[in-house]
Amino acid sequence: MAGLTEIRDEQLLKMMQGGDEDAFATLYRRRQGAIYRFVLEMSGSASLAEDVTQEVFMALIRDSRGYDPSRGSLGAYLLGMARHHALRLIKRDRTYVSISQTWDGSRDREDLAPLSPENPHSEMSRRESIHWVQQAILSLPEHYREAVVLCDLNEMSYEDAASVLGCSVGTVRSRLHRGRALLIQKLAGGKKVEAGDKAIDPSRCLA
Amino acid sequence: MNCKDFESMIHEIVSRRAADKTKQLEALEHAGRCLWCALRLDEETKLTQSLQAFARTLDLQRAPTRVEEALVQAFREGTLRAAGPRFGLAAKRLWRRLSWGLVFAATVAAAWIVVLRTARVPPHSSVPLHRAANTAIPLTPTPNPSQNNATEDPDKDLLQEVQADLEREVPEAVAPAVLIAEERNEILTNKEQTKTTLGKGEK
């Protein structure tokens, strides 16, 4: 089993196609975290993230020959499937992405470290800031949200993100740019403007 | 570098993705000269830091263990099912071949039975003509031998009956023949009369 962790995804997939259960388990453990987090960040729902993760790997079990290595990495292929399932479920139940809804990450927040006894105020402020970021991300339109989630939160390259989203690198860049601009606006509107700060109009910079 | 170029690559600068280090330095130099671009850089840097802080809170997030257990179980069942059809397919082929064989055997057996049954019945051509005539259905009902002292020869009986019919009125069955004969006789008499008339006239 220790040897399997060093094997590349494509090789594990071939072994899995041959009925190797350990290869499947290794592949699952390697890739499930990214898929689960991607859906969680996209939807804000832990239960939906769980469902989608299960659906993606069930689809891989049913038809693992649908993956074409020439079109991108296996990780990107799985994330593409996760995106497809997640968008379908989000469209079915829009309430998951409503800004008015509370983040379905109660478990996540409980998992956070307890408030630091030295500086509880700054810790609370940090948590509040994270909460606002979560809400701002969930309020973005889907195509901007997925670009931000993939490139900023998961630090994926533009090329890989383009492979997941099924669009060009230029489209990823422009969506990311627009998504970030919207985030800045939302975060500036959600928080109290501190003294001396003022919102920047990017159009003036372009003049 | 102008503000537009700076804006187009600001994300690469804050996320340290810029492939071209020279351009990155140029952009930073531009931000040092341009107040608006400096503020934009600050704004984008803060956003990136906030996003990274949020991403760190989710770093350890994983699907629950029950998902893995369910998937491994499904994989195991799927592997068994995938192995199943191979046997099923072979069995299907065997059954298909067997069924065709059974159909062929049944057809041959049925044909053989038909041939055997037809071979027992003698063909019509082998029966003599006079016997066939004897076995023919009589035109009139056969008289009961116990009631009538009929002769043993059926041909003679038939002939007698026909003669009796002719002696009585002309039956409908032979009426056209009788009429033709009568017409013929009439024509002949007319001819003879004509001849005699003509002979008298010549004289």
Mean pLDDT for all residues in chain B: 76
Q: Does B37 touch chain A (CB under 8 A)?
A: yes
* Chain B stretch 64-123, residues whose beta carbon is closer than 8 A to a beta carbon of chain A: 64, 67-68, 70-72, 74-76, 78-79, 82-83
- A37·B79 Cβ contact <8 A: no
The pLDDT score that the predictor gives to residue B122 is 59
Q: Does A134 touch chain B (CB under 8 A)?
A: yes
Integer-rounded Cα Rg, in Å, for chain B is 60
| B71 closest CB neighbour out of A58, A111, A112 | A58
A81 in Cβ contact with A166 (< 8 Å):
no
* Chain A stretch 67-106, residues whose beta carbon is closer than 8 A to a beta carbon of chain B: none
Domain A1-97 class in CATH: mainly alpha
| 3-state secondary structure (DSSP) of residue A200 | coil
pLDDT interval class at B158 (50, 70, 90): confident
Residue A193 corresponds to which amino acid? V
State which residues of chain A have pLDDT below 70.
Answer: 1-2, 94-119, 190-207
Q: What is the distance between the alpha carbons of residues B90 and A92, in angstroms, rounded to a whole number?
A: 44
pLDDT interval class at B89 (50, 70, 90): low
State percent of chain B over pLDDT 70.
Answer: 66
The string of DSSP letters for B78-130 reads: HHHHHHHHHHHHHHHHHHHHHHHHHHHHHHHHHHHHHHHHHHHSPPGGGS-HH
Residue B195 has pLDDT above 90, yes or no: no
- B50·A133 Cβ contact <8 A: yes
The pLDDT score that the predictor gives to residue B98 is 83
Residue A151 corresponds to which amino acid? C
Interface A–B counts its CB contacts (< 8 A) at 115
Q: What is the distance between the alpha carbons of residues A44 and A131, in angstroms, rounded to a whole number?
A: 11
Question: Which H or E element spans position B71?
Answer: helix B65-120
**B191 compared with B88, residue with greater pLDDT:** B191
The pLDDT score that the predictor gives to residue B199 is 74
Which of A62-71, B8-17, B77-86 has the least mean pLDDT?
B77-86
Q: What is the distance between the alpha carbons of residues A21 and A16, in angstroms, rounded to a whole number?
A: 6
B201: number of Cβ within 10 Å: 7
pLDDT interval class at B14 (50, 70, 90): confident
- B68·A25 Cβ contact <8 A: yes
The pLDDT score that the predictor gives to residue A162 is 93
**What number is the average pLDDT over the span B54-80?**
88
Residue B44 has pLDDT above 90, yes or no: yes
For chain A, give every residue range classified as CATH 1.10.10.10.
118-192
- A54·B63 Cβ contact <8 A: yes
The pLDDT score that the predictor gives to residue A111 is 46
pLDDT interval class at B83 (50, 70, 90): low
The pLDDT score that the predictor gives to residue A115 is 55
The pLDDT score that the predictor gives to residue A50 is 93
Architecture of domain A118-192: Orthogonal Bundle (1.10)
Q: Tell me what ipTM this predicted complex has.
A: 0.77
- B78·A200 Cβ contact <8 A: no
Question: Which H or E element spans position A174?
Answer: helix A169-190
The pLDDT score that the predictor gives to residue A68 is 85
For chain A, give every residue range classified as CATH 1.10.1740.10.
1-97
Residue B196 has pLDDT above 70, yes or no: yes
